[in-house]
Structure 1
Amino acid sequence: MENHKPPFTITNEILSYVSSISEKLGRITATINLEAKPHLRKNNRIKSIHSSLKIEANSLSLGQVRDVINGKTVLGEQREIQEVKNAYAAYERLSEINPYSIKDLKQFHGIMTKYVVEESGVFRRGEEGVFNGDQCIFMAPPARLVPELMNNLFDWMEKEKNSVHPLILSSVFHYEFVFIHPFSDGNGRMARLWHTAILSKWKPIFEYIPIESQIAKFQDEYYNAIAKCHTDGASTIFIEFMLSQIDKILYDISIQSSEDNEQLSEYIKKLLHVMEYDVPYTSKALMEKLDLKSKEGFRRNYLRPAIDRNLIRMTIPDKPNSRNQRYVKF
């Protein structure tokens, strides 16, 4: 179909989010030097991978995903471990992706689904539907139409990439991709990877912003937005949803970065320095790392101020004095 345009409407809400996101990106870029923070970059990448796979029912914890990526032995289902290895291989090559190339799309689907999907790196040959129990709630377009639909989508992106804002274009692609459902498996993972790839071509900082973790927090709303768009026949609601989530995660990052750049006490700086991201510590372990003897002084000068600034969290927030309490650096 020549000059096919995916149906969507640019609303005032969408324009407002684009403006808000652009403003936050400017602030974050000015305050965070990710090039000087390889640990933060890797931590965010692990969050992206864990969240994207979790949405697809991978049961490995964040710690297990981290261990797989770091080459440690993990007890778990082999398929799920392989999914982590595949996703890490794909995300590590994110900067190589040409998001306007179907050839690259198939290549990276092959990387993302290596050893776990029979039809890896090729468009599906069979019919696919989305089921809720025994009930089919969405039937994807016939397999024979997939190549044409994908060509139309990529032709539209290539044609409009300089006129449609990347924040909008990436969201339209995400929805249209999910609707077409071009692969037999791995469509959700690929849609989220490609969304990030499109945004990273616009602003490289998106390569290390874990949008997937934000989607995972609002997974029901994510699927509801997709379902509403199926009913409406347009991706407007999904664009608004995705931009709201991107705006939220950038807000969280900007708040944390501004706090990081305030005059944090030397106590908090020392505490953060001895903690690895997402590793749970007992108060005793942290006191040993800091060579402290006074439990009260540790809580007053180090622990409580860091918790109040949302720089670390309790694993059991409802029971702050629990003997099983652990503390985790965000």
Structure 2
Amino acid sequence: MAYLPVETIIRDQQGAYYQALRESDNASASTPFIAFILKAAEQALNEALESEPGHKSDQASDQVKNLLRLFISNPSEPLKVPDMMQKLALKHRPTFRKNYLKPALEQSLITMTNPDKPNSPRQSYLISTEGLSLVGK
């Protein structure tokens, strides 16, 4: 448990964390807070398991498919990371990169518009032919 990023998950879900504390305080019972912490620990465990080498999960696959669907309406329009995150209603950039962007790139489902400069602030992404066929276009 010492290596699980529970603090990061709590930080990313601060509103829910404080809500669980309020509910526990109002009920004079720790059940809502314990439920929140257990859910955060479960999420941290799942993320740790998904990051194991060679591990593939349906969740990651679903996340990649959700990313690919952003390109369907206009496959030739490149998208930047902030735009993709906004459309997916995501706020935590490292999680987006780990669970969406990196697997899609590794599977050649999306491509960089500027592959020679992967960290360029002007970097955008396009869906590949393989990506299009995966999401049914």
Kindly name which structure, 1 or 2, has the bigger radius of gyration based on alpha carbons. Answer: 1
**Smaller-chain TM-score bracket:** 0.3 to 0.5
When normalised by structure 2's length, the TM-score is: 0.47
Instruction: Give the helix-richer structure, 1 or 2.
Output: 1
